[in-house]
Structure formats: structure tokens, C-alpha cells
């Protein structure tokens, strides 16, 4: 896992460590790590043109000391000061190594082989002011390699929020631990490749606030020698209507391909007939929205309810019945609209997983969509606590939140998923994992990971080459087995 900590906790850990170290030792550690990454990025250090963009904070000092190390190895290093006062010791070290102060920022940045962004640090919030904004814009447009120091300037390290100009880095070298804003869009999109430098904070850091999975961290149920279809998990899906039939086929197909031992599908007659034709493995039941309708479907170990169901009284009756059971329930799409007016249905003991996009979450918690999009981490956490559920907030960075647990950030998201029906696929996939016995937070996070990976595979034909081919939701369904195989 990649572990990320909120800015205040990082600051506290840094202070605790600095109290045990000689003055300036922590900054020199950070600068050494930054310089080492820069050395790897340059074809050769001797004679390379390196420009430092330096503000008045500690990150400016890190950049100056790193620049001094590069200058001692023969690089031509210049510094553009964005503040009247910069780190005195770092500037003195740079000058002693042969570095120089530059006046022509635009020309220097345009000629540079490598630019180090040390304009602001992890404490920066809000839009960049001048001259920082102009320098960030120059760096982002430069042909040389851009390396951000700890966090790209203009990115809120705590949330990933970007207001106005922000540096678009090729590489971000972050110190001690990841910060949430490096993992969450739009900030994550500005970071490029993120390199973590160990500066010794480990013993002083508390539990993480945000985590992002690596491939080896995604564990899903595996059938054993004694497995049968019931032990592998029976998932019940209540989806589709006469008007919206695709959701029925897509969510069922995802559950079939996600390893469910059995998929029980229930709906009105037309979507049931379509599911029978496309997925003969599914056990189907025609139901009407009447009391105890789901009792006739058969025993399940998790329910998925909502995709394409409609939002009227009939849909409300089925959502109510699913949530009245004592098994995990995933609610998506139209089911979320029902919950927006019937939040009382969430008062249950069994796990509940909600999979809204920002608009659906807006209706659930009464916050404007734009506000949610601007502060996704904050509102995913709020929703999990307020609704008493595991909340999977879909978007360019999918977040999975559960009260008093680190937020899971999905690293496999892709714009290729911005097409109709992919949310239905995610519902069936996560539902199958729930039925297989996974905890709600783990099932939602693993489902998001595999969902994104399947989309990338579908677009490229394989997991290693993430191409640009357009895909459909059904392509994601058919790519799921290949996504699962990458976990072996």
C-alpha cells in the first residue's frame, strides 16, 4: 500500500524528528533524495542546465540544497527567486557550489534541461499569487523535465484541490510519506510519477489517513478444493425495468465474470428475458414490486439493488425489501435516488455499500455537486459518517470511505470509464465480491481497482499498454477475467 498522511500530521512528525537531529539535518536528507532523483532523470549531469524555482518556504530550501549538490557535479544551476527572502543557508550553499541567481526567468526556464519546482510547500492552499502563478505556468509549458519538490506548487497537498495555476510536473519527489493530494485528482494529475524519499519519519507518523493499493495489495476470494457454488457466494441482483434494460444485462454479466458462485437475477419480465438470453448461467425470477417479492428469489449472501430500476413507488418497495435483509447490500443508481428521500432505510446492522457519483451524493447529503467535486475527500468521509455506510464516490479518482478508517484511493481509474453503463458493471462486480465474503471496504476498493484495470485492458488489449481505443461498458465486462488474472 501507499500510505498518505494529512499535512498537520506530517508537520508534527517532522518536528518530532528534527528535535532529535542536528540543525538542518532533515532538510539535507530531503535535498539528498531530491538530487538523487534528478541525477537519474538527466542523461548526464555535467553541463546540464538546471533551473530552480524557489519560494520563501522550506521546500525552497530543499531545492537550493539539491541544486548545490547538482552544481558540485558539474551542472549549470541557476535560481529564480519568487520571494524577496529565500532560505539563506540553501542559497549560500548553492552560490558556494557555483550556482547563480537568474533574472530572465522565462528564458532560463525555456532553455533548461531540468526545472525543480520549490515555489510552495505542503502547507500551500488556494490559488497561487504572482509571481508564483507565472512561474508555474512557465514550468508547465517548458520542454525540460519538471520535478516538483514534495508537491507541485498550486496543488493542495491535503485534498488534491487546484485553484488556478499549478505546476504540471513530470516527477514529484515527496518526503517521508505520501500526501493525500498526490493521490487524488485533480492534484494527482499534476504530479506525474511520484517518488517517495525516506527521511526517517516512520516512527513518528500515526496511522495513515488515505491509502492506495498496489497490485499485490488487491486480494479477492479464491475457490479452494472444497468450494461449491454456494461457498463461492450467491449474489442477488435487482435491476432493470421495461425502460432501462441494459443495466440488468451489464450488472449480471459483471457478477458472472467476477467469480460469483451463483447469480440470482430478479426483475420484471422483459429484463429477465434479456438476461436469460445473454447470461444463461444466471438464475432468473420474474417479480412484481409487492411485499415479500424478494423472499421468492432464493437465498443470497449479498444484494445489489438499483441499476435501471426506476425511482417510483415500485422501486422504493424493492430497495426497502433488500435493505430489510441481514446480508450486505450494495445500492447504486436509481436506488440512491430512492435513498435520498428515504434515508431511514439505511438504519440497519448489516453492511451497506453506496456507489454514487458526485451528483447522486449531492442528493444524499444535501451539498451542491460542485462543492463535492472541489473537496471530494472531505465529502466522501462526511457521507460515510453521516449515512452509516461504506461510500464509493465515483469520479476521476474513485474514493472509498468508511467511518474511522483510512480512505481508499483507487489508482487504476481512466477516462475510458466515462461511458454509459460502466457504473452498472461496477455494481455487479462489487456485489459478487461481497457475496464471496469480503468486508465492505475491501470489496468496494478491490472492485474499483479491477473495474479500472478492466477498462484499461479493454482499451489497449492488454494490461501493459494503456491505449486510446474507445470502449463500451460491455467491453469492461468481457475484460474482467483478464483483470483478475493480473492479481495472480
**145 among the known binding-site residues?**
no
3-state secondary structure of 125: coil
**156 among the known binding-site residues?**
no
**423 among the known binding-site residues?**
yes
Long-range contacts of 391-394 (CB under 8 A, 24+ apart): 391/353, 391/354, 391/356, 391/361, 392/353, 392/354, 392/355, 392/356, 392/426, 392/430, 392/444, 392/447, 392/448, 393/356, 393/357, 393/358, 393/361, 394/355, 394/356, 394/357, 394/423, 394/426
**59 among the known binding-site residues?**
yes
**352 among the known binding-site residues?**
no
Burial 370-379 (b: 16+ CB within 10 A, else e): eebbbbbbbb
**216 among the known binding-site residues?**
no
**241 among the known binding-site residues?**
no
Cis peptide before 260 (omega within 30 of 0): no
**122 among the known binding-site residues?**
yes
**125 among the known binding-site residues?**
yes
**225 among the known binding-site residues?**
no
Q: In angstroms, how far is CA 487 from the centroid of its own chain?
A: 19
**123 among the known binding-site residues?**
yes
**457 among the known binding-site residues?**
no
Burial of 413 (0-12, 13-18, 19+ CB in 10 A): buried
**325 among the known binding-site residues?**
no
**58 among the known binding-site residues?**
yes
**170 among the known binding-site residues?**
no
**395 among the known binding-site residues?**
yes
First to last CA, the chain: 17
- The set of cell numbers assigned to 130 is 504572482
**394 among the known binding-site residues?**
yes
3-state secondary structure of 359: helix
- The set of cell numbers assigned to 250 is 451489464
CA 380 to each of CA 345, 383, 387: distance values in angstroms, whole numbers, following the listed order: 19, 5, 10
Cβ neighbours, 10 Å, residue 130 = 9
CB distance 316 to 305 below 8 Å: no
**247 among the known binding-site residues?**
yes
**239 among the known binding-site residues?**
no
CB distance 74 to 42 below 8 Å: no
CB distance 204 to 4 below 8 Å: no
**154 among the known binding-site residues?**
no
**357 among the known binding-site residues?**
yes
Identify the CA nearest to 417 among candidates 385, 450, 381, 369.
Answer: 450
Q: What is the DSSP letter of 178?
A: B
CA 57 to each of CA 22, 122, 193: distance values in angstroms, whole numbers, following the listed order: 20, 10, 23
**150 among the known binding-site residues?**
yes
Annotated binding residues: 58-62, 117, 121-127, 150, 153, 247, 308, 357, 394-398, 423-424
Annotated binding residues for AMP: 394-398, 423
Annotated binding residues for K(+): 59, 117, 153
Annotated binding residues for (6S)-NADPHX: 58-62, 121-127, 150, 247, 308, 357, 424
Amino acid at each position: 500500500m501507499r500510505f498518505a498522511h494529512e499535512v498537520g500530521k506530517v508537520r508534527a512528525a517532522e518536528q518530532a524528528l528534527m528535535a532529535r537531529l542536528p540543525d538542518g539535518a532533515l532538510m539535507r536528507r530531503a535535498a539528498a533524495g531530491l538530487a538523487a532523483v534528478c541525477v537519474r532523470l538527466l542523461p548526464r549531469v555535467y553541463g546540464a542546465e538546471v533551473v530552480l524555482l524557489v519560494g520563501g518556504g522550506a521546500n525552497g530550501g530543499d531545492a537550493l540544497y539539491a541544486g548545490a549538490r547538482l552544481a558540485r557535479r558539474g551542472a549549470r544551476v541557476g535560481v529564480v527567486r519568487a520571494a524577496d527572502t529565500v532560505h539563506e543557508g540553501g542559497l549560500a550553499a548553492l552560490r558556494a557550489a557555483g550556482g547563480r541567481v537568474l533574472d530572465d526567468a522565462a528564458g532560463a526556464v525555456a532553455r533548461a534541461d531540468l526545472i525543480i519546482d520549490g515555489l510552495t510547500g505542503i502547507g500551500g492552499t488556494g490559488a497561487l499569487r504572482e509571481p508564483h502563478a507565472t512561474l508555474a505556468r512557465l514550468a508547465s509549458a517548458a520542454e525540460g523535465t519538471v520535478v516538483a519538490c514534495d508537491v507541485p506548487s498550486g496543488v493542495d497537498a491535503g485534498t488534491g484541490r487546484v485553484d488556478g495555476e499549478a505546476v504540471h510536473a513530470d516527477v514529484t519527489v515527496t518526503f517521508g510519506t505520501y500526501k493525500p493530494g498526490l493521490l487524488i485528482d485533480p492534484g494527482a494529475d499534476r504530479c506525474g510519477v511520484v517518488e517517495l524519499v525516506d527521511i526517517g519519519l516512520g516512527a513518528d507518523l500515526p496511522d495513515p489517513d488515505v491509502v492506495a493499493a498496489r497490485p499485490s495489495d488487491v486480494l479477492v476470494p479464491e475457490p479452494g478444493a472444497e468450494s461449491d457454488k454456494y461457498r463461492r457466494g450467491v449474489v442477488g441482483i435487482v435491476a432493470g425495468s421495461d425502460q432501462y434494460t441494459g443495466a440488468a444485462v451489464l450488472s449480471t454479466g459483471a457478477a458472472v465474470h467476477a467469480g460469483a458462485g451463483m447469480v440470482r437475477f430478479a426483475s420484471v419480465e422483459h429484463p429477465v428475458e434479456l438476461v436469460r438470453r445473454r447470461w444463461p448461467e444466471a438464475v432468473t425470477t420474474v417479480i412484481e414490486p409487492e411485499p415479500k417479492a424478494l423472499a421468492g428469489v432464493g437465498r443470497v449472501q449479498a444484494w445489489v439493488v438499483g441499476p435501471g430500476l426506476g425511482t417510483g413507488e415500485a422501486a422504493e418497495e424493492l430497495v426497502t425489501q433488500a435493505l430489510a435483509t441481514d446480508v450486505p447490500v450494495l445500492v447504486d443508481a436509481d436506488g440512491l435516488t430512492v435513498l435520498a428521500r428515504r434515508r431511514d432505510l439505511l438504519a440497519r446492522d448489516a453492511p451497506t455499500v453506496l456507489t454514487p457519483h458526485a451528483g447522486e451524493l449531492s442528493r444524499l447529503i444535501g451539498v451542491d455537486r460542485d462543492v463535492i467535486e472541489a473537496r471530494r475527500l472531505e465529502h466522501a468521509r462526511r457521507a460515510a459518517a453521516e449515512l452509516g455506510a461504506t461510500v464509493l464516490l465515483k469520479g476521476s479518482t474513485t474514493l472509498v470511505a468508511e467511518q474511522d478508517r483510512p480512505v481508499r484511493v483507487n489508482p487504476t481509474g481512466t477516462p475510458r470509464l466515462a461511458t454509459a453503463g460502466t457504473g452498472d458493471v461496477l455494481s455487479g462486480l462489487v456485489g459478487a465480491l461481497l457475496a464471496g465474503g469480503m468486508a465492505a471496504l475491501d470489496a468496494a476498493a478491490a472492485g474499483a481497482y479491477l473495474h479500472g484495470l478492466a477498462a484499461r485492458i479493454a482499451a489497449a488489449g492488454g494490461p501493459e499498454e494503456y491505449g486510446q481505443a474507445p470502449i463500451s461498458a460491455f467491453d469492461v465486462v468481457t475484460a474482467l477475467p483478464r483483470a483478475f488474472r493480473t492479481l495472480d
